Amino acid sequence: ELHGEIISGLEVLAGLENALFQPLVEASFSIVLKHVDESVLEGGDFQSVDALQLKQAYAASVGVILEGGKRNADPILMRGVLSDYLKDGYRVDFFVEQYTIHKRELIAILSTTGFNFPHIVDVNWRLTFHMKSQSIEKENKPVYLLRFDTKTPGKTPLNANQSNNNESVEFACNGWELLDLVQKLKDAAKQFDRVTSQ
């Protein structure tokens, strides 16, 4: 079931000239697959189209692409849905052909897209001393260097050479700041225990 705004956008998409339909569908797939960014819609053939109509048609195209990928829809289902709104068999065939070509990559991107916070997988710390030598007196102050190694679930490596999705957060603090951090973590752990025990 498609959202009403997608349906109205598909009607706008169906009303575009043939010379604009194909580039818009191709651009929609390229943008969703992160091959290009949305600035591609600002130039070329798209300058002759009303900006509002272009946005509606683009949003509908992207909506159908994402919905199809989310549901892992087969080409027959996509053809059935699109034929209700695009009417023209050539346009339906072209859209379904593009979907079929890019389906595997689309699903791979959708499966790794998420809104997960990083998880702490390791903590390393080191105690050092800050020595002030500007004057005769020396001031030894302990400084704690902390490194939290984190991992973000579902995040893919940025390149082939990156073997994992671990990142580090490093900072320095004094003894009072470290005690404050430990106390806040203890408070969070207590709150978590209260919530999970109910």
Q: What is the pLDDT of residues 66-114, one digit of tens each?
A: 999 988 999 999 999 899 888 888 999 999 999 999 999 998 888 776 6
Average pLDDT, the chain: 85
By mean pLDDT, which of 42-46, 104-108, 116-120, 152-156 is the weakest? 152-156
pLDDT on residue 165: 64
Please check whether residue 117 is in contact with residue 169, taking contact to mean a CB–CB distance below 8 angstroms: no
Please check whether residue 141 is in contact with residue 129, taking contact to mean a CB–CB distance below 8 angstroms: yes
Q: Tell me which residue of 168, 154, 158 sits closest to 122, measured CA to CA.
A: 168
**Residue 45: pLDDT band with limits 50, 70, 90:** confident
pLDDT on residue 108: 86
Q: pLDDT tens-digit profile of 122-169?
A: 999 999 887 666 665 666 788 899 999 988 766 555 444 445 567 889
pLDDT on residue 146: 94
Q: In the numeric block, which tokens belong to residue 100?
A: 């079929």
pLDDT on residue 111: 78
CA–CA dist 76, 67 (Å, integer): 14
pLDDT on residue 158: 46
pLDDT on residue 164: 58
pLDDT higher at 174 or 160: 174
pLDDT on residue 93: 94
Q: Tell me which residue of 59, 26, 58, 33 sits closest to 112, measured CA to CA.
A: 33
What one-letter code names the amino acid at 52? L
CA–CA dist 27, 58 (Å, integer): 9
How many Cα neighbours within 13 Å face the side chain of 168? 9
